Chain A
Amino acid sequence: MKKIVRNIVLIIATLLFILYAQKNFDSYTLSILNNIGIFAILALSYNLINGVAGQFSLEPNGFVAIGAYFTAILLIPAETKVDMFALVDPAPIILQMKAQFLPAIVIGGIAASLVALLLSFPVFRVRGDYLAIVTLGFGFIIRIFAINNPAYTNGAMGLNDIPSNANFIWIGSIALITFIVMIHIIYSKFGRAMKSVRDDEDAATAMGINTFKMKTYAFMTSAFFEGLGGGLLASMLTTITPDQFSFLLTFQLLIIIVLGGLGSMSGALIATILVMGGMEWLRFLDDNIVLFGKDFGAHPGTRMVVFSIILIIMMLFARRGILGDKELFDYFKKKSK
């Protein structure tokens, strides 16, 4: 009982903070908080398939793109679409698609989740690490598809004038919901079963666990929240292009969940803040570098070199990340009787 009261207090406090921040913080601070919120949603959900279920996947950019496109198409008014589509006329269905903000992002999430279901059949029925390569390929296919179907996506030019509904109240609350859902999954028979698949697939099967089903549940859940996050991202940025959803996005999320500790949701939250902060802080690396009075010019990508080295070093020497696969409160929990 005490635990429930404590949790409710924490949730209310978080919601109050979100409301306060939206009302009182300046737009710069809010934009940082929005970014952190969206990355938290993505990292938490990515952590479910990669960390909890232990299935190495490289999908977030693909599913975020699906969510973003669905949301954008559902939110942009038909007249705006007609004006915007420059290469070809928009397909009739694109003009008909219309929804309110919340249904729009949920539809984006469901769409991503259904694609995850389709991908599950080829990759989870066989053993091996095909999920990684299939999802990596999928990220490229989405881009190819977006570029080659201008009647649906406006091709390489992307979509703009997306109504900007996603404020910090939306983003913050959905991040909170995502966290709660993930924790609820982890501390249930489904979370245990997912972890058992990660630890020893044969032994899990021998205990009656349907490993295909558990992997698919994890994957679809991840995809749903990534799609949702994509919708929020589209509405926050108001402009999307196929090139935005490159592997870079997935790579940043991978760093976050590795740093937080694969399988730890509270770790992913902490790491989101650290990595997003680090990204800002290391921005100077991509700018002009001046050493001993000599200008070496700008070298975009330097930050990514640094981050890939950090990732490799962490895998080699600090594989457990900040919190291992435990949650923050596990460390404070007294031994239960």
Chain B
Amino acid sequence: MNIDIFLQQLVNGASLGSMYALIAIGYTMVYGVLRLINFAHGDIMMVGAFLTFFATSAGMPFEVAVLIGIVGSAIIGILTDKIAYKPLREAPKISLLITAIGISFFLENLFTVLFGSTPKAFKAPEYLTKIFHLGNIYLPISVIIIPTVTLLILAIVLWILYKTKYGMAIRALAFDIQTVKLMGIDADKIIMIVFIIGSALAAIGGVFYAVSYPSIDPLMGIIVGLKAFAAAVLGGIGSVGGAVVGGFILGFTEIFVVAMFPELGGYKDAFAFFFLILVLLFKPTGIMGQDLERGRF
């Protein structure tokens, strides 16, 4: 692999990794506060991409359309929590997981029924798709913009988590929900904020996906969501920084392994799964995570 191709793949990997990272943050934050694998998270990403698609199709400027996608996803995220998860806070864990898978399946099929299962071409604005070249490397501008925006968003999320009182409450909730309630914090409100942040980031991830591929379909969230969850576990479930690290590692791995061993191209979607298995076997707390699952007495 010569240096040009290497650089080109590096940028592609960063772009793909950004997408996984953005979605993984939502998984990891919800897991942190509810100990729930939110199966619907990948589908919320899909909703974000679809809303953006409809808004642009209706003639709105891309930026406004993205905003609609973000807000719409956040609302779906809040509704999911309020309708499906909140009534089950005290119920056995398995009920919550079943409801989560129910919501996921509901969103996938609802969008299939409403908009059909054929992929729709996603038209991104020209300033994102324009090709530029540096020496011998030819790339769409989006692959530079996507990681940059992602890092910016990460900075904002970390600022919220570590510098605001809501962030403190989120971190406290991840530690122990009972203590937080005793401290007089409205746990449900904090959980709602987590769903807003997670869903908004998923929507942005969904738009990035749509811009890169560039097509969307109602089932796009399944595999991407699964991979993002694997990335969150790899980074250390519960850790936002870990989710980002895990996302980028997965992104780079997919791009570079396929570049070096093209015959493995068909297995690209399986890498995340093997990461997941390896992490669980050898370091279940992931790269940056703490042990959230120690038995409590």
Residues of B within 8 A of A145 (CB): 270
Q: A129-B37, A148-B266, A251-B101 are in contact. Are A140 and B223 (CB under 8 A)?
A: yes
Distance between Cα atoms of A133 and B269 in the complex (Å) = 15
List the B residue with the shortest CB-CB distance to A302. B113
**B110-128: which residues lie under 8 A (CB-CB) from chain A?**
110, 112-113, 117
In the complex the two chains form, is B98's CB within 8 Å of A148's CB?
Answer: no
Distance between Cα atoms of A96 and B91 in the complex (Å) = 52
Residue A159 is within 8 A (CB to CB) of chain B in the complex: no
In the complex the two chains form, is B276's CB within 8 Å of A133's CB?
Answer: yes
Residue B87 is within 8 A (CB to CB) of chain A in the complex: yes
Q: A148-B266, A305-B106 are in contact. Are A311 and B87 (CB under 8 A)?
A: no
Residue A202 is within 8 A (CB to CB) of chain B in the complex: yes
Shortest A310–chain B CB gap in Å is 9
Residue of B37, B39, B98, B226 with highest tally of chain A CB at under 10 A: B98
Q: A140-B226, A315-B99 are in contact. Are A305 and B94 (CB under 8 A)?
A: no
Contact of B226 among A50, A133, A312 (CB under 8 A): A133
Distance between Cα atoms of A130 and B226 in the complex (Å) = 12
Shortest B282–chain A CB gap in Å is 9
**A46-79: which residues lie under 8 A (CB-CB) from chain B?**
50, 54, 56, 58
Distance between Cα atoms of A123 and B117 in the complex (Å) = 33
In the complex the two chains form, is A304's CB within 8 Å of B276's CB?
Answer: no
In the complex the two chains form, is B297's CB within 8 Å of A202's CB?
Answer: yes
**A196-249: which residues lie under 8 A (CB-CB) from chain B?**
201-202, 247
List the A residue with the shortest CB-CB distance to B233. A130
Residue A309 is within 8 A (CB to CB) of chain B in the complex: yes
Residue B64 is within 8 A (CB to CB) of chain A in the complex: no
Q: A129-B93, A258-B98 are in contact. Are A308 and B106 (CB under 8 A)?
A: yes
> Chain A 130-145, CB within 8 Å of chain B: the 1/0 string?
1011101110110011
Residue A262 is within 8 A (CB to CB) of chain B in the complex: yes
Residues of B within 8 A of A137 (CB): 226, 230, 272-273, 276
Residue B139 is within 8 A (CB to CB) of chain A in the complex: no
Residue A86 is within 8 A (CB to CB) of chain B in the complex: no
Residues of B within 8 A of A127 (CB): 293-295
> Chain A 90-101, CB within 8 Å of chain B: the 1/0 string?
000000000000
Distance between Cα atoms of A123 and B267 in the complex (Å) = 22
Shortest B61–chain A CB gap in Å is 32
Residues of B within 8 A of A316 (CB): 84, 87-88, 99
**B35-89: which residues lie under 8 A (CB-CB) from chain A?**
35-37, 39, 83-84, 87-88
Contact of A134 among B88, B106, B276 (CB under 8 A): B276
SS of A interface (majority) = helix
Residues of B within 8 A of A177 (CB): none
Residue of A56, A132, A300 with highest tally of chain B CB at under 10 A: A56
Residue B248 is within 8 A (CB to CB) of chain A in the complex: no
In the complex the two chains form, is A126's CB within 8 Å of B267's CB?
Answer: no
Shortest A107–chain B CB gap in Å is 25
Shortest A58–chain B CB gap in Å is 7
Shortest A288–chain B CB gap in Å is 13
Distance between Cα atoms of A128 and B91 in the complex (Å) = 16
Distance between Cα atoms of A129 and B92 in the complex (Å) = 12
In the complex the two chains form, is A312's CB within 8 Å of B270's CB?
Answer: no
Shortest B73–chain A CB gap in Å is 19
Residue B280 is within 8 A (CB to CB) of chain A in the complex: yes
User: Count of chain A residues with Cβ under 8 Å from any Cβ of B?
Assistant: 45
Shortest B91–chain A CB gap in Å is 7
Q: A137-B230, A301-B109 are in contact. Are A144 and B37 (CB under 8 A)?
A: no
Residues of A within 8 A of B91 (CB): 319
Q: A127-B293, A128-B35 are in contact. Are A58 and B101 (CB under 8 A)?
A: yes
> Chain B 273-297, CB within 8 Å of chain A: the 1/0 string?
1001100110010000000111101
In the complex the two chains form, is A50's CB within 8 Å of B266's CB?
Answer: no
Residues of A within 8 A of B276 (CB): 122, 130, 133-134, 137
Distance between Cα atoms of A309 and B117 in the complex (Å) = 20
Distance between Cα atoms of A203 and B293 in the complex (Å) = 15
Residues of B within 8 A of A144 (CB): 266-267, 269-270
Distance between Cα atoms of A311 and B230 in the complex (Å) = 26
Contact of A311 among B35, B37, B98, B237 (CB under 8 A): B98
Residue A147 is within 8 A (CB to CB) of chain B in the complex: yes
Shortest A105–chain B CB gap in Å is 27
**A240-284: which residues lie under 8 A (CB-CB) from chain B?**
247, 251, 254, 258, 262
Shortest A320–chain B CB gap in Å is 10
Residue A299 is within 8 A (CB to CB) of chain B in the complex: yes
In the complex the two chains form, is B94's CB within 8 Å of A254's CB?
Answer: no
In the complex the two chains form, is A304's CB within 8 Å of B101's CB?
Answer: no
Residue B105 is within 8 A (CB to CB) of chain A in the complex: yes
Residues of B within 8 A of A58 (CB): 101
Residue B258 is within 8 A (CB to CB) of chain A in the complex: no
Residues of A within 8 A of B179 (CB): none
> Chain A 101-129, CB within 8 Å of chain B: the 1/0 string?
00000000000000000000111011111
Residue B262 is within 8 A (CB to CB) of chain A in the complex: no
A-B residue pairs in contact (CB < 8 Å), sample of 7? A56-B94, A129-B37, A130-B276, A132-B97, A148-B267, A305-B110, A312-B84
3 A-B pairs closest in CB distance: A127-B293, A308-B106, A122-B280
Given contacts A134-B277, A141-B273, 16 further A-B contacts (CB under 8 A): A50-B94, A56-B93, A122-B276, A122-B280, A127-B294, A127-B295, A130-B233, A136-B226, A137-B276, A144-B270, A148-B266, A202-B295, A202-B297, A300-B112, A304-B109, A316-B84
